[in-house]
Structure 1
């Protein structure tokens, strides 16, 4: 795949099969004190920046910037509906999205790779930090490294369509090793963010650095009639493993990476519960994630055909609005770590009750 397997997309062989089967108002945070602002910090607009992969770029939310929708090979798919543009935080004057669909930690390193024609995201952050006053950097990265969520989703979809055994039987065999491998990579990427900001004159206390985890776009208790090529074709057992084990254990690994890099951590592992793709049945309005989505107009375009399904199983516009609500709340606190969970009214809220992986998880939110 052209994106090095980094996006949660469906592989070419599945596309062939598919084609043959079917023709916030949120809290603000206080500005850093004068003592925290180094003299060399630019006098520019107070800015929040997002870095990382499809979860923050806006894949699945539509309204993509034209230049990131395949123009000259750029498939970052940055959306006008992405989280950063939905943040409503007092004092913030600019919201800039540098995240790129399919990004891995390599794409965030100072000496990182070129992705979809774009230089390293920390390289771009360094340039931005010269003319903007960076207040917060929100990062979502790690799923496209060793955990390989793109491969996981594609393999599990394969398993259902081809009537193979559940994919989790194989993927689970080395899952722990993959998580162990991703921790130092994410930690290094976060340290590189700190490095470029330090070189630009920022002290640690003059901005926030936040690592997000991931949430499951799918749940096991979806209607059977939606386990098809127009919705969510997955084995129930795989959906249970993804939601109840894979996402939670990945979140724990990312929490450790954030601790190593002295970054704040926001747990999203339960953020989509009750609002996953296909859980709404006929009511798509209650879902915060896209179902299997194919851009049929791109099948006749050789340059776009590899990307026809990339929007599948990503947060939709409402999902990004809900994430922005909770992330904004977190920006307004001094908590080292917290979690986002749906409240009794169905909106995403911040809680300091993090999951207890050694026992039963606590799903009750405490809105603040």
Structure 2
């Protein structure tokens, strides 16, 4: 009898084990899959670059054939652009929608075209159909009311006129008002980017939206023998103003636009310190910006001649690599703002705002 009870108990245990196994298997089959972390949708986890020349890769060379003048497209997107140097855990693809010369209106939604291309926000709306966008990095504003590139051109022209006043004397009178007019345009563009992602089912926590400022491409501490067409034809007064006032106040305005839209902010205003165009003297290898550059072959082609000096005074490939390094560090943190500063190793690093202020 005792033996019979033992076999009965053993049989019962086996039956329970089998039932548990069946329930586990059924449970796994019927269990809803866990929500995947990060952005919704399908496709590779992606970082996207939007904006103007400083994001497109102007100055970095090797422009894609479709953006190097083909059918009037001069967006000058380069595989060397900073967005393609981003290395963040989980992100496997980078897409550059930036276009050289773009104002904020081209980044946002609307009918503004730049070099034949439609709104970058509209292009982003197409991209999210088959990409999971983890981060959008924007560099824009300089081509709006500040017209920073035109400012550089004006200062270039001023160098030729010996008896004329430094260009900064003419510009500084209304410089702040130009920046004040720029801020709401950049804020509107950022809100349009958020609208595109919201329409695609994204919550704000699903992605990072980063607005970055501009690094000064030129500075006053360059050899006298390079303040000419051999490198950097600018007056010392103008070089000092561009670096110490122009780029710094532009950064302040962009920081305000980021704050108004809840975007993270990356300050690049001092990122080029010591590495500006012509700062290396006879050896340009340490410079992160192009000197006065002429594509001589383009001068023989009517359609390309007006773009022959387009690369001048933009970040070069080395500069973009450094900006990408700093951006990668910033994206890996939860800091709302940081500044790209050179570390003891000679590379740019994302310094928290409090550290950047102490070093400023």
In which range does the TM-score fall when normalised by the shorter chain? Answer: 0.7 to 0.9
In 1, the alpha carbon distance for the partners of 2:354 and 2:97 equals: 28
* 1:162 positional shift: 2.2
In 1, the alpha carbon distance for the partners of 2:105 and 2:217 equals: 25
In 2, the alpha carbon distance for the partners of 1:187 and 1:212 equals: 13
Deviations 1:252-298 (A, max 9, x none): 10000001111000000000001000000011110000000001111
Corresponding residue for residue 338 of structure 1: 338
In 2, the alpha carbon distance for the partners of 1:155 and 1:62 equals: 24
The 8 Å contact of residues 38 and 134 in structure 2, kept in 1 or not, is answered as no
Deviations 1:52-82 (A, max 9, x none): 0001100000010011000000000000111
* 1:35 positional shift: 8.0
In 2, the alpha carbon distance for the partners of 1:260 and 1:187 equals: 7
* 1:115 positional shift: 1.1
The 8 Å contact of residues 108 and 121 in structure 2, kept in 1 or not, is answered as yes
The 8 Å contact of residues 53 and 140 in structure 1, kept in 2 or not, is answered as yes
In 2, the alpha carbon distance for the partners of 1:93 and 1:37 equals: 14
* 1:136 positional shift: 0.2
Report the 3-state secondary structure (helix = DSSP H, G, I; strand = E; otherwise coil) of the residue aligned with 1:219: coil
Corresponding residue for residue 352 of structure 2: 352
* 1:325 pairs with 2:325: yes
Corresponding residue for residue 66 of structure 1: 65
Report the 3-state secondary structure (helix = DSSP H, G, I; strand = E; otherwise coil) of the residue aligned with 1:351: strand
**CA RMSD between the two structures:** 1.5
In 2, the alpha carbon distance for the partners of 1:75 and 1:35 equals: 39
Corresponding residue for residue 22 of structure 2: none
In 1, the alpha carbon distance for the partners of 2:213 and 2:231 equals: 25
Using CA pairs under 8 Å that are at least 6 residues apart, name the structure with larger relative contact order, 1 or 2: 1
Q: How does the TM-score come out when normalised to structure 1?
A: 0.86
The 8 Å contact of residues 85 and 95 in structure 1, kept in 2 or not, is answered as yes
* 1:311 pairs with 2:311: yes
The 8 Å contact of residues 337 and 353 in structure 2, kept in 1 or not, is answered as no
Report the 3-state secondary structure (helix = DSSP H, G, I; strand = E; otherwise coil) of the residue aligned with 1:136: strand
The 8 Å contact of residues 325 and 348 in structure 1, kept in 2 or not, is answered as yes
Corresponding residue for residue 6 of structure 2: none
In 2, the alpha carbon distance for the partners of 1:354 and 1:237 equals: 30
The 8 Å contact of residues 48 and 133 in structure 2, kept in 1 or not, is answered as yes
Task: Point out the structure with max Rg over C-alpha.
Answer: 2
- Structure-to-structure mapping, 1:1-368, within 5 angstroms: 34=35, 41-163=40-162, 164-353=164-353, 362-363=358-359
- Say if 1:362 and 1:219 are closer, same or farther in 2 by CA, change over 3 A: farther
Report the 3-state secondary structure (helix = DSSP H, G, I; strand = E; otherwise coil) of the residue aligned with 1:294: coil
- Say if 1:112 and 1:257 are closer, same or farther in 2 by CA, change over 3 A: farther
* 1:135 positional shift: 0.1
Corresponding residue for residue 10 of structure 2: none
Q: How does the TM-score come out when normalised to structure 2?
A: 0.88
Which blocks of at least 5 consecutive residues in structure 1 are unaligned? 1-32
In 1, the alpha carbon distance for the partners of 2:120 and 2:206 equals: 20
In 2, the alpha carbon distance for the partners of 1:275 and 1:77 equals: 23
The 8 Å contact of residues 61 and 320 in structure 1, kept in 2 or not, is answered as yes
The 8 Å contact of residues 38 and 207 in structure 2, kept in 1 or not, is answered as no
- Say if 1:128 and 1:283 are closer, same or farther in 2 by CA, change over 3 A: same
